[in-house]
Amino acid sequence: MRRDYQIVVLGGGSGGISAARAAKRAGLSVAMVQDGPIGGECTFSGCVPSKVLIEAARQGLPYGSAHQRLKAVIAEIAEEENKNAFLEAGIDVFEARGRLGSEDGLLDTSLGVSLRYDHLILATGSTPMHPFIPGPSERYLTNENVFELVDTPKELVVVGGGAIGCELAQAYRRYGSKVTVLELSERLLPAEDYDASMLLGTVFRNEGIETIYKATVSAVREKADGTLELDLSNGDRLSASHILLATGRSPSTSSLNLEENGVSLDERGYVKVDRHLRTSKNNIYAVGDVTGIALLTHAADEMGRIAVHNITHPLRKRSFHPLDVPIVIFTDPEYARIGPSPSSIPNTSTKTVTFEIKDSDRAKITGRREGFIKLTVTRKSIFGYVGGGRVLSATIIGDRASELIHEVELARRSRMFAGRLAQTVHAYPSSSIALRQCAAKLFP
Ligand X SMILES: Cc1cc2nc3c(=O)[nH]c(=O)nc-3n(C[C@H](O)[C@H](O)[C@H](O)COP(=O)(O)OP(=O)(O)OC[C@H]3O[C@@H](n4cnc5c(N)ncnc54)[C@H](O)[C@@H]3O)c2cc1C
Ligand Y SMILES: NC(=O)c1ccc[n+]([C@@H]2O[C@H](COP(=O)([O-])OP(=O)(O)OC[C@H]3O[C@@H](n4cnc5c(N)ncnc54)[C@H](O)[C@@H]3O)[C@@H](O)[C@H]2O)c1
Residues that bind ligand Y (CB under 6 A): 131, 159-165, 167, 182-185, 190, 216, 246-249, 295-296, 328-330
Answer for which of 31, 296, 308, 411 binds ligand X (CB under 6 A) is 296
Choose from ligand X, ligand Y, none: what does 288 bind? Cβ within 5-8 Å by kind.
ligand X
CB of 298 to ligand Y, least distance (A): 8
Taking the mean position of all CA atoms in its chain, how far away is CA 68? 24
The minimum distance between CB 298 and ligand X, in angstroms, equals 5
Give me the sign of the Cα torsion angle 263, 6, 121, 123.
negative
Residue number, 183 or 409, with CB nearest to ligand Y: 183
Minimum CB separation from ligand X for residue 375, in Å?
23
- Binding at 11: pick from ligand Y, ligand X, none (beta carbon under 5-8 Å per type): ligand X
The listed partner (ligand X, ligand Y, none) that binds 12, CB under 5 to 8 Å by sort, is: ligand X
CA 435 to chain centre: 24
- HSE-CB at 217 with a 13 A cutoff on CA atoms is 30
CB 51 to ligand X: min, Å: 6
Nearer to ligand X, 284 or 439 (CB): 284
342 lies in the site for ligand X, by CB under 6 A: no
Q: Which is nearer to ligand X, 261 or 378 (CB)?
A: 261
For 441, counting Cβ atoms within 10 Å of its Cβ (0-12 exposed, 13-18 middle, 19+ buried), the class is middle
Nearer to ligand X, 52 or 435 (CB): 52
**Beta pairing, strands 106-109 & 98-100:** antiparallel
Residues within window 20-79 making contact with ligand X, judged by CB under 6 A: 33-36, 40-42, 46-47, 50-51
Binding of ligand X by 435 (CB under 6 A):
no
Contact partner at residue 218 from ligand Y, ligand X, none, CB < 5 to 8 Å by partner kind: none
Question: 199 CB contacts (<8 Å, ≥6 apart)?
Answer: 333, 370, 371, 372, 397
CA-to-CA distance for 70 and 53, rounded, in angstroms? 7
Residue nearest to ligand Y (CB): 162
Name the minimum Å distance from CB 315 to ligand X: 28
The answer to whether 326 contacts ligand X (rule: CB under 6 A) is no
Q: What is residue 4's three-state secondary structure?
A: strand
Q: 123 contacts which partner out of ligand Y, ligand X, none, CB within 5 to 8 A by kind?
A: ligand X
Query: Which range touches ligand X (CB under 6 A), out of 76-84, 117-125, 361-369, 384-392?
Result: 117-125
Parallel, antiparallel or unpaired: strands 228-232 and 126-128: unpaired
Cβ within 8 Å of residue 278, ≥6 positions away: 284, 285, 310
Query: Is there a binding annotation on residue 16?
Result: no
The correct pick among 5, 8, 9, 14 for binding ligand X (CB under 6 A) is 14
Q: Does 160 bind ligand X (CB under 6 A)?
A: no
User: In the complex, what is the shortest distance from the CB of residue 45 to ligand X, in angstroms, rounded to a whole number?
Assistant: 6
Cα–Cα distance list, 344 to 187, 313, 323, 347, 412 (Å) = 18, 33, 12, 9, 17
For 59, what's the count of Cα atoms within 13 Å in the CB-facing half-sphere? Answer: 12
- Selection from 135, 237, 119, 111 nearest residue 180 by Cα: 237
Q: Is 163 annotated as a binding residue?
A: yes
Chosen from ligand Y, ligand X, none, partner binding at 41 (C-beta under 5 to 8 Å by type): ligand X
- Other Cβ atoms closer than 10 A to 178: 16
Alpha-carbon distance of 163 to 186, in angstroms, equals 15
16 binds ligand X (CB under 6 A): yes
**Residue 197 near residue 187, CB atoms below 8 Å:** yes
Task: State in angstroms the smallest separation of the CB of 330 from ligand X.
Answer: 6
Q: Where are the alpha helices (H) located in 161-250, listed in sequence order?
A: 163-174, 194-206
160 is in an annotated binding site: yes
Q: Which does 73 bind (CB under 5 to 8 A by kind): ligand Y, ligand X, none?
A: none
Determine the Cα–Cα distance for residues 348 and 175; give it in Å rounded to an integer.
46
Rounded to a whole number of angstroms, the minimum distance from the CB of residue 201 to ligand Y is 13
The binding site for FAD comprises 51, 98, 124-126, 289
